[in-house]
Structure 1
């Protein structure tokens, strides 16, 4: 065998074969990385679509449930019930109609738009709602009655399966909620899913398909309404997605193509969100990379055959560097770049490797950024939901305590009045030197203390809905500070005022709101006792000209972290000595809630406490108090 031939074979063995092997290994590694990246992206998309679908539907259920929390519409008269339904109907544009049903699931009242001009004259906001036909109204009432009748005991809301409206063929669901006292009746609304369907259609760009399945694997909603109307069955194609309770990946065959699919359950609805894409479309970049790689390898082999004597030494080092670069990429070092100043095929191959590494690094950064953004959104949404849940739970506890307090006060007032009256009569008949008089005075004092507690309980149960007028908030706070001025001076408390520039008015019951600030000021003074720094700060801020935020800050003892969740509970106190009844903050919470506002508390032990009140501002017209 000639030396040239041997050299050629040697170069092929030492240069071409390792290059081909390295290219194949890099291609396989890139294939695995790209497949994993595509699967992860599909999974995240499916999870996002599932969360969006759940939020889209369950937010209405939460709103209906909240609307029934403090109001039983079945107990209202016809006009009041119609007004209640109108307020619910006008909350969202995508509500087509609402209905109120009694305990036997019979329709009591309903609101829908069948004549836009007539409704527009009655209420301009009705123009934002779609019209419905008589057949669609009848179909909605039937579905809503069946949903309420089949709602399990203990459930406060339910959602029907998606359907197409009878005449206009629009996707929709029925969302129903009922009051805790009801055993069959409640409030129902038809929620249009066109916006959700449009989102699914937009998500299906670049041959990607996004759709929703029911628990049996049948198609519920698709960007293509006609396709959803056929109720395509995916139970055999995607058995893993049927009734899935956790996210996953799978694939199925359709129209001679293999589709890569990721699915995620829709919370509380029993649906499954699926994101699918043809395998050849998902792995198209890898196919392009493989063609480019093999083209470069072909040019390399031609160069070896033609210039084997000259390239024997020149090829060894560049190929080794290319192999090392491929290994770095395979190990995950996406920032590694190959510096090869050549103007031949090897240089092109090095540029191809660098471009591939840059593309993979950019894709990796985008995925990390998307992951961080999604995690931040989930954390923010979780925090908001926890705050809302805590507020609702606290309101429910106070409402239940108020009902019990009203009953207790009613039952205790009569015997307590008898005790006080009899003790007073006995004291009038006894001489001053009688030894029994001291015991009767003690009984009289304790009975009066019980009467005070009963009055506090009545304040906790009462809901003030009338007698409100525009109140100058700054004037009220200044009067309160002036009335407590001697007490503040005596204990050495420095008062800082940081009021909003200009007049701030709120619509309130002057006595009730003044009592709230008086109680908060009393709590702050108690916390400032025996403190080295005694500073009380009152601040007001106007938010969007519709809300005013009032902050009462002190540098007192603070509240232990483990007590913060119970701070608004009736009869709970953190005072060092039991001098009160533990009802002040509970009463403040009830009064502020009745005024349409909110109250929150932040405290750090040894640093101080800040109580924040948010109240709606009063209209521009009206007299000041």
Structure 2
């Protein structure tokens, strides 16, 4: 039997007199339920406003970080830096001022701003920036964090005119910080939208003071208490408050996560409870006619309507909070039963779609991170290869041009040494010969570096042979330095393909670096094995001082060295890297400062190398 038929039977059986009491009961129950329901809706609206504000700020900062991430500021000239900042500035419509400063706060590039944005269609909609705005911004820039890529957020403020804004500092490198002024125009637009129609929406700081509002607002002690409780308990809630004009308003507070701000949405009690007030008017109007009938009918409706609606309301609140396990009772064959069953079906569908969206987001994030890492690795490899190729050509030219003159200089010095032997000038000739030999070594290193750019097919050879040969060259130095050598070679290793002399040179460079890293003695472990039977793995581990994080990315750069010895031009690891790549291999360095270093050289086996 449907609900309408039940009501008709009750009215016919009982009469019309109980309508008055039913109206009173319905008014009381409906008003209480309406207050809870509207309060939850108001709280949800405040939570949505807080989430919108948080996402706007976080999205703006992330967009700023992504716009700056691919720009190599350390490698750009001042004019190029200005051009890159200009491009990024035009791509960030929410930024009004952009400037690159050093750690002393001195501008390196910028500031970029628009005094007359209307003249450029691409910048239409931005607030014009005056000298007063720049002055306020310069005093609001927060101190830059030490880590590269980290951001610091200042307190909201207002310039000489326009919307509220915040200053952000983004660390992009050593002694380089990007300072930006982000306009909260979109947030204020949302506040104005929520404040239309007699309502009110505003943001407050941790002290309860207004940051931005849809229209001018003056807070009373009760309104400040709403924010104070919300901040102290870090939760969203609502209550009736009395405003400065004496009217009672239903206000809801929600914290803005990560910013120590709060979002408040309010509306007059008369508007929030207008449906209940109309119901009370109708109740008193019909009370004289239908008082007796309302008593009986109110009892029935309270059981058949109010309780199911209340259960559905509680279930809706739980589902809005993310709790899909709340049971929804759906008994009976009337409209309320149909509603309950439809509500249960909707809950299951929402839960299923929510799980699908979450799984898809996680999968998408994983794929983006994997592709980003692969792209960065490929870009680094391309840049290093181009740099090595260019420097190899330069080194070959310099070695060719300097070799013949240095040969003549060395010969003349030898003749002078014989002619002036036993004189006071003999010592000067010896020192000149030492410096000439030093130049010759540098020229030889340049020539060797240039020769590694040529790739040859080579021959098959056991990898242990050049490794043993390189270690034999350093036996005396290892013993003199107090370094204990440990070797671990697997049996029946497949052959390598290439030039054993060049591989011996790679091992020699790596052992030389390990010895230099342990001036006071230590342990050196050299191991040789395979990876899945398809590749050869040479691993050299020392207990030296390790490689600092700040220079780990530069160790394969030509002419980069941390050694103080004369004649060291920083080509050892560059030459080794070129040789390994010429053999279709890969070299990997693992190190922590103060905890030694481990260098792994991966080479394809002879069959795999031939296929490569």
The CA distance in 1 between the partners of 2:251 and 2:269, in whole Å, is: 9
CA RMSD across the alignment: 5.6
The CA distance in 1 between the partners of 2:146 and 2:98, in whole Å, is: 21
Instruction: Find the counterpart in structure 2 of residue 387 from structure 1.
Output: 364
Instruction: Find the counterpart in structure 1 of residue 271 from structure 2.
Output: 281
Match of 2:243 among 231, 234, 254: 254
Of structures 1 and 2, the one scoring higher in RCO (CA 8 A, sep 6+) is: 2
CA 1:140/1:323 → structure 2, altered by over 3 Å: closer, same or farther? same
Question: What per-residue deviation string (whole Å, max 9, x for no partner) do you get for residues 58-79 of structure 1?
Answer: 2110011112323243542122
Paired residues of 1:237 and 1:253 also in contact (CA < 8 A): no
Match of 1:187 among 178, 193, 212: 178
Give unmatched runs, 5+ long, in structure 1: 1-13, 305-314, 335-356, 428-438, 455-460, 462-570, 572-578, 585-625
The CA distance in 2 between the partners of 1:426 and 1:420, in whole Å, is: 16
Q: Does the alignment pair 1:218 with 2:209? A: yes
Q: Does the alignment pair 1:238 with 2:231? A: no
The CA distance in 2 between the partners of 1:398 and 1:319, in whole Å, is: 75
Instruction: Find the counterpart in structure 2 of residue 77 from structure 1.
Output: 77
Instruction: Find the counterpart in structure 2 of residue 126 from structure 1.
Output: 123
Match of 1:148 among 143, 147, 162: 143
Paired residues of 1:43 and 1:249 also in contact (CA < 8 A): yes
User: Which structure has the larger Rg?
Assistant: 2
Q: CA deviation at 1:42?
A: 0.8
Paired residues of 1:61 and 1:176 also in contact (CA < 8 A): no
Instruction: Find the counterpart in structure 1 of residue 416 from structure 2.
Output: none
Instruction: Find the counterpart in structure 2 of residue 464 from structure 1.
Output: none
Tell me the SS of whatever aligns to 1:87.
helix
- What is the TM-score normalised by the length of structure 2? 0.51
Paired residues of 1:157 and 1:175 also in contact (CA < 8 A): yes
CA 1:22/1:382 → structure 2, altered by over 3 Å: closer, same or farther? same
Paired residues of 2:220 and 2:242 also in contact (CA < 8 A): no
Match of 1:324 among 300, 323, 327: 300
Paired residues of 2:192 and 2:213 also in contact (CA < 8 A): yes
Please list, as runs of the form range in 1=range in 2, the aligned pairs for 1:412-561 lying within 5 A after superposition: 442-444=495-497
CA 1:250/1:155 → structure 2, altered by over 3 Å: closer, same or farther? farther
CA 1:377/1:58 → structure 2, altered by over 3 Å: closer, same or farther? farther
Larger deviation: 55-64 or 74-83?
74-83
Instruction: Find the counterpart in structure 2 of residue 113 from structure 1.
Output: 114
The CA distance in 1 between the partners of 2:79 and 2:197, in whole Å, is: 53
Question: What per-residue deviation string (whole Å, max 9, x for no partner) do you get for residues 557-576 of structure 1?
Answer: xxxxxxxxxxxxxx9xxxxx
Q: CA deviation at 1:94?
A: 3.3
Q: CA deviation at 1:107?
A: 1.4
Q: CA deviation at 1:326?
A: 4.2
Paired residues of 1:214 and 1:220 also in contact (CA < 8 A): yes
Match of 2:376 among 399, 418, 423: 399
Tell me the SS of whatever aligns to 2:249.
strand
CA 1:104/1:29 → structure 2, altered by over 3 Å: closer, same or farther? same
The CA distance in 1 between the partners of 2:232 and 2:117, in whole Å, is: 41
The CA distance in 1 between the partners of 2:353 and 2:247, in whole Å, is: 37
CA 1:249/1:90 → structure 2, altered by over 3 Å: closer, same or farther? same
The CA distance in 2 between the partners of 1:113 and 1:375, in whole Å, is: 48
Tell me the SS of whatever aligns to 1:238.
helix
The CA distance in 2 between the partners of 1:328 and 1:580, in whole Å, is: 79
CA 1:275/1:152 → structure 2, altered by over 3 Å: closer, same or farther? farther
Q: CA deviation at 1:211?
A: 0.9
Give unmatched runs, 5+ long, in structure 2: 1-13, 311-333, 389-448, 466-491, 504-529, 538-552, 554-600, 602-606
Q: CA deviation at 1:376?
A: 7.1
Please list, as runs of the form range in 1=range in 2, the aligned pairs for 1:297-376 lying within 5 A after superposition: 297-300=287-290, 320=296, 323-332=299-308
Paired residues of 1:260 and 1:279 also in contact (CA < 8 A): yes
Q: CA deviation at 1:297?
A: 1.7
Q: Does the alignment pair 1:200 with 2:174? A: no
Tell me the SS of whatever aligns to 2:143.
helix
- What is the TM-score normalised by the length of structure 1? 0.50
Q: Does the alignment pair 1:87 with 2:63? A: no
Match of 2:168 among 175, 186, 199: 175
Paired residues of 2:165 and 2:183 also in contact (CA < 8 A): yes
The CA distance in 2 between the partners of 1:194 and 1:232, in whole Å, is: 28
Paired residues of 2:21 and 2:287 also in contact (CA < 8 A): no
Paired residues of 1:96 and 1:191 also in contact (CA < 8 A): yes
Q: CA deviation at 1:189?
A: 2.0
Question: What per-residue deviation string (whole Å, max 9, x for no partner) do you get for residues 183-215 of structure 1?
Answer: x63222222223321220110233321111112
Q: CA deviation at 1:242?
A: 2.9
Paired residues of 1:251 and 1:259 also in contact (CA < 8 A): yes
Give the aligned length: 390
Tell me the SS of whatever aligns to 2:227.
coil
CA 1:64/1:329 → structure 2, altered by over 3 Å: closer, same or farther? same
Question: What per-residue deviation string (whole Å, max 9, x for no partner) do you get for residues 501-532 of structure 1?
Answer: xxxxxxxxxxxxxxxxxxxxxxxxxxxxxxxx
Paired residues of 1:104 and 1:185 also in contact (CA < 8 A): no
